[in-house]
């Protein structure tokens, strides 16, 4: 049986981590999907970040003909609203809460923990970050949507959480309209949201990777690289 423990990438520097980024992959992938992103980020030299990349469990996915694959939750309908199994999404968000708890237990201040996610992982990241009972450092939502916007009960501890939303203007998998709508729904709930688009499909691009690195530097209080 495959090891389900998250992929852990320790800081480049030979010193203990002082911040953590928890990054959730998309449907059908695993924690290794964004492993190449970590060394590509222009992080400041004085910033020691641990990256935690968990693996989603395998489950049947309705919109893919019931095929079993790594997924954070089942997608029941690919309409504009993305009908999903919300209980499974919330269970995945609770798993993320456990990862945050573990990082705090390892000595990381909750305010120096960033929750991030791509596509389906981003929908989980939205819910996990906004419901966590201690203040976090930020939420990074990549090519995703705010699946629980109408049912979420946000934590007061993260009412001031900064949210960074990125989306490809040519995304054929998660239309940009869904990403923009998610950002607007978060703003309607009172969050400070920055929304950026890039001329790409359902992916990451070099300009975006630069922006992610600089955003992490700013959020985690480091000087520019």
Sign of the alpha-carbon dihedral angle for 200, 204, 206, 209: positive
Can 171 be counted among the known catalytic residues?
A: yes
In 10 A of CB 66, how many CB atoms? 10
Q: Contacts for 67-70 with beta carbons within 8 Å, 24 or more apart?
A: 69/27, 69/28, 70/25, 70/27, 70/28, 70/29, 70/30
Residues 125/116, Cβ–Cβ less than 8 Å: yes
4 is catalytic: no
Give buried/exposed letters for 175-194 (b at 16+ CB in 10 A, else e): beebbebbbebbeeeebebe
Q: How many residues does the chain have?
A: 225
Determine which one of 97, 119, 127, 143 is catalytic: 119
Measured between alpha carbons, how far is 129 from 145 in angstroms, rounded to an integer?
Answer: 14
Q: Which of 85, 109, 202, 211 is catalytic?
A: 202
Q: Is 5 within 8 Å of 34 (Cβ atoms)?
A: no
d(Cα 52, Cα 27) in Å, to the nearest integer? 17
Question: Could you list the active site residues?
Answer: 119, 171, 202
């Amino acid at each position: 049986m495959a090891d389900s423990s998250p992929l852990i990438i320790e800081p480049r520097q030979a010193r203990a981590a002082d911040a953590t980024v928890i990054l959730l992959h998309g449907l059908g992938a695993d924690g290794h999907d964004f492993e190449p992103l970590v060394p590509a980020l222009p992080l400041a030299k004085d910033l020691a970040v641990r990256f935690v990349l968990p693996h989603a469990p395998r489950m049947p996915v309705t919109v893919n003909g019931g095929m079993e694959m790594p997924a954070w939750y089942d997608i029941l309908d690919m309409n504009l609203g993305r009908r999903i199994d919300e209980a499974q999404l919330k269970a995945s968000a609770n798993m993320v809460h456990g990862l945050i708890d573990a990082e705090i237990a390892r000595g990381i201040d909750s305010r120096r923990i960033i929750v991030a996610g791509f596509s389906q992982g981003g929908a989980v990241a939205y819910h996990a970050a906004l419901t966590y009972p201690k203040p976090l450092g930020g939420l990074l939502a990549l090519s995703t949507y705010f699946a629980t916007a109408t049912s979420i009960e946000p934590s007061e501890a993260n009412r001031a959480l900064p949210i960074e939303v990125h989306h490809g203007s040519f995304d054929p998998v998660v239309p940009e309209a869904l990403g923009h709508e998610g950002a607007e729904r978060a703003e309607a709930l009172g969050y400070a949201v920055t929304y950026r688009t890039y001329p790409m499909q359902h992916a990451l691009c070099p300009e975006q990777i630069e922006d992610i690195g600089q955003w992490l530097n700013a959020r985690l209080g480091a000087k520019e690289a």
